[in-house]
Amino acid sequence: MSCFRFSCDTNVIISSTFYYRFRNIAEVFKERTYDLSIYIMRSFGRIYQKNNIKFGILTPSTLNEINQRKLTILLRKLEEQYQNNPVKFRTILTELSAVLNKINDNLAQVLKIFQKGKAYFNDTRVKKIYTKVEEMYNDFIKKSYNIRDIVEKKVSNHINQFFSKYFKDEDLKKIEIEKEFARQSQIMRLSEPNTAIQKKDMEILAEVIYEKKRCAQENPLFRKNFDFYFISEDTHFSKKYSNTFGGTISRPITDKINKLFDVRCVRIGEFFDLILQQQLNVSK
């Protein structure tokens, strides 16, 4: 079984600190992603206590971002939960200090399972990786502008070649086009203003890739049969799920990151499944 290490983004770390159930706002923390994040961190916490091995690596940028964003994320969750109940929202704010104190205590425990990375963005080696990351996303962005035409042409050729003898209904073509749109939605989102990739996201990915390379350079065990996971719910990295057509997965960007940089971007649930199925080598 391959050796492995993992990193994760700020949202995953902060989600894993929401395991203290405050009596008046317990409903805020009832989310599957929170529960899975908590399970993951506790699992590696037990492994660290038993074997004294830190499987997690956090980049300096992620560590800095945690303290900047934890209050913002908490407030956003409270606003979403109580948007129709402003009276309760104001009442909850009076408990905010106690909530943050407990989250800080939880965070201190979570961070014990992580090594601090060395991928500072001003390092020329990280900047070289960033250039390649930016080129990859720019290629996808260019493709996103024409993706609808590309999909329609591809599906039309496919339908005309293989199914024209049997299907005359134009509905088949429409269905196949919509399916292909769903499969390419990870790319399509890049050209939409509210879901465009940000420079900061590319910087963090470059740092994660550097950490993977550094692991392989510094430890002979990691030069062969070594997997590096980046846990994120951000579909600029990890595969995008859709409920359409019985469930559709869009993963062209995820696959490209793995192919170019040998980093496996996974959703929280995917990494959770690897733990449950005992597919991770936690011995070294």
As a whole number of Å, the end-to-end CA separation of the chain is 11
Is residue 183 within 8 A of residue 250, CB to CB? The reply is yes
Q: What pLDDT sits at residue 163?
A: 57
As beta bridge partners, residue 241 has: 249
Q: What pLDDT sits at residue 21?
A: 56
Q: What is the pLDDT of residues 43-62, one digit of tens each?
A: 999 999 999 999 999 999 99
Q: In order of start, what are the domains of the chain with their CATH numbers?
A: 3-126+197-241+253-276 (3.40.50), 127-193 (no CATH)
Question: In terms of pLDDT, which residue wins out, 194 or 210?
Answer: 210
Highest-scoring range by mean pLDDT, 71-85, 163-177, 189-203, 265-279:
265-279
On the CB side of 124, how many CA atoms lie within 13 Å of its CA?
A: 0
Q: What is the pLDDT of residues 245-271, one digit of tens each?
A: 778 899 999 999 999 999 999 999 999
At a CB cut-off of 8 Å and minimum separation 6, what does 37 contact?
12, 13, 15, 16, 268
In angstroms, the CA 208 to CA 225 distance is 18
Among residues of the chain, what percentage have pLDDT more than 70? 88
Q: What pLDDT sits at residue 27?
A: 60
pLDDT greater than 70 at residue 211? yes
Question: In terms of pLDDT, which residue wins out, 26 or 82?
Answer: 82
pLDDT greater than 80 at residue 138? yes
Q: What is the pLDDT of residues 2-47, one digit of tens each?
A: 899 999 999 999 989 876 555 556 666 667 888 899 999 999 999 9
Q: What is the pLDDT of residues 110-127, one digit of tens each?
A: 999 999 999 888 889 999
pLDDT greater than 80 at residue 153? no
